[in-house]
Homo-oligomer: A and B are copies of this chain.
Amino acid sequence: MAGNSFGQIFRITTFGESHGAGIGVVIDGCPAGLEIDEQYIQQQLDRRRPGQSAIVTQRKEPDNFQILSGVFEGISTGSPLALFIPNTNQKPKDYSHIKDLYRPSHADMTYQEKYGRRDHRGGGRASARETAARVAAGAIARLLLQQADITIQAGVTQVGQLKLEQAIEKIQWAEAANNPVRCPNAQLAAEMESLIQEIKKSGDTVGGKISCYITNCPVGLGDPVFDKLHADLGKAMLSINAVKGFEYGSGFGSVEMRGSEHNDKWVAGAAQKQTATNHSGGIQGGISNGMPIYFNVAFKPVATIMQDQASISKDGEAATVSGKGRHDPCVVPRAVPIVEAMAALVLADHYLRDKVVRL
């Protein structure tokens, strides 16, 4: 109800603020019997954590997690799984200068007016630090999906005007692990890295796009009408900080197409039902059809820039917000594991939901 939970059967509730004790998540509905590979969870957190490369924020947060409940002898018990990531490198003073200011394109004003107060330190609850909890929970969702051989891969396919021009099914996703931008194309990655470095030097930031590709998803995930698989994926992605758009399959490009070219023809006589093209993006009528699922997520440029900006105080008076602290010049490299985590949470939930819809 208050917006901090996600999922129906595999349901997570996150808590914590940027500069409080830490960030945590309770997973209620993780099936008993799942081996909880702590190393894997930490790996995922390491992909998101600050300070991992020269093109991301230089904050030093190790993001080590603790399991507070729900695991016994390394196996999930069916009880709520609570994970906690203590905050260790907070510098609240970095934020004292904005205590009574509203930064442009931040959540300062809306939180203040909605709740009548706000924790101004590092954005409080609005901080992207909250996504650490999503990555931790998403890692557990992925452990569950591994049981069904479902694979989720994401990568950066655009930064500014540098855009990967490649058919989605041709992309070498594993390549994204080999460069700090997480672009699945080595040459483009190098260009993106240069661009980000350059923008960083100018005290500015830049937007980006992440594409995600899911293979081996069985037929049948997703529910009709409101909880269509792509509707839940869309909500999941749009709930990530800085996201401005979502499209799946043919996406916005479908607007210019004719039905006769857009329709995905079924291949006759195939062992597993499949289509010749995949404009549907692996989802028909909101339900997975066994083809690869893919979608794009648009991220705006980070709002915190290292430049002085004219702004206002809480009382509406003119004020200057100067850029301080340690921030990302481009959010997409660190957002790749977040996109994968949110996709995993949606799929894990629908994987379980699908088990009760027929006799």
Contacts and interface: CB of A to CB of B under 8 A. Distances in A.
A142 interface: no
Contacts of A166: none
A16 B225 CA distance: 11
A223 interface: yes
A200 to B, nearest CB: 11
A114 interface: yes
A171 interface: no
Interface in A5-49: 5-6, 8-9, 11, 13-17, 20-22, 24, 26, 28-29, 31-34
A232 B111 CA distance: 18
Given A224-B125, A358-B32, A301 B113 contact: no
A300 B111 CA distance: 37
B238 A244 contact: no
Contacts of A273: 102, 109, 113, 312, 316
A206 B244 CA distance: 26
B160 A34 contact: no
Contacts of A232: 235
Interface string A231-270: 1101110110000111111111011111110111111111
Interface stretch (A50-58, A180-188, A277-285, A333-341): A277-285
A92 B32 CA distance: 21
Counted per complex, copies of this chain come to 4
B68 A260 contact: no
A26 B4 CA distance: 10
A183 B207 CA distance: 31
A226 B232 CA distance: 11
B311 A359 contact: no
A299 B275 CA distance: 20
Nearest to A254: B300
A199 interface: yes
A136 to B, nearest CB: 14
A186 to B, nearest CB: 21
A228 B254 CA distance: 27
Interface in A64-88: 66-70, 72, 75, 77-82, 84
A219 interface: yes
B78 A115 contact: yes
Contacts of A247: 244-247, 252, 298
Contact of A1 (B9, B117, B248, B318): B9
Given A228-B238, A259-B302, 4 more contacts: A1-B11, A106-B285, A245-B245, A255-B300
5 contacts: A125-B225, A254-B298, A262-B303, A263-B309, A267-B312
Pairs of residues from A and B, 5 with the lowest C-beta to C-beta distance, nearest first: A107-B285, A3-B223, A245-B247, A205-B259, A3-B227
